[in-house]
Amino acid sequence: MKLNRRQVDKISSLILEGLKKEGLIIFKAPEETVLERINKAITDDLLREEALDREVDGLIEAHSGSLGSESVDYRKMFNMIKHRLVRERDIIL
C-alpha cells in the first residue's frame, strides 16, 4: 500500500476527531467501531487503487511488444492508461 498501517490509523483518527469537533457525527455504535469502519474504508480504497495499478502494469506489459522500439515514457503511459480506466469506470481516487 502507498500508506502504511500507522499512517492509515492516524488519518482515520483525524477524520473521526474532525467529525466530532464539528458536531457532524452522532454515534449509534461505539466510537471504536466507527474508527475501525473509517480505517477499513480507507484501507479498502487503497487496495482497490493498488489492484488498478497492477492492471495498468499488466496492460502495458501485454502491449509492450506492439510499441516496438518507440521511445515511450513508462510513467507517462501508466498515468494516461490509469486516468482513462478511472474515467471509464467512474472510480474516485
Q: pLDDT tens digits for 10-64?
A: 999 999 999 999 999 999 999 999 999 999 999 999 999 999 999 999 998 888 7
Every domain of the chain and the residues it spans: 5-89
Place of cell 461505539: 30
Q: Is the pLDDT of residue 89 over 90?
A: yes
Give the cell for residue 69.
522500439
Strand, coil or helix: what is 32? helix
Phi-psi region of 71 (alpha: psi -120 to 50; beta: other; left: phi over 0): beta
Q: What is the pLDDT of residue 61?
A: 87
Q: What is the pLDDT of residue 73?
A: 83
Give residue 66's pLDDT band: very low, low, confident or very high (50, 70, 90). low
pTM: 0.80
Q: What is the pLDDT of residue 92?
A: 87
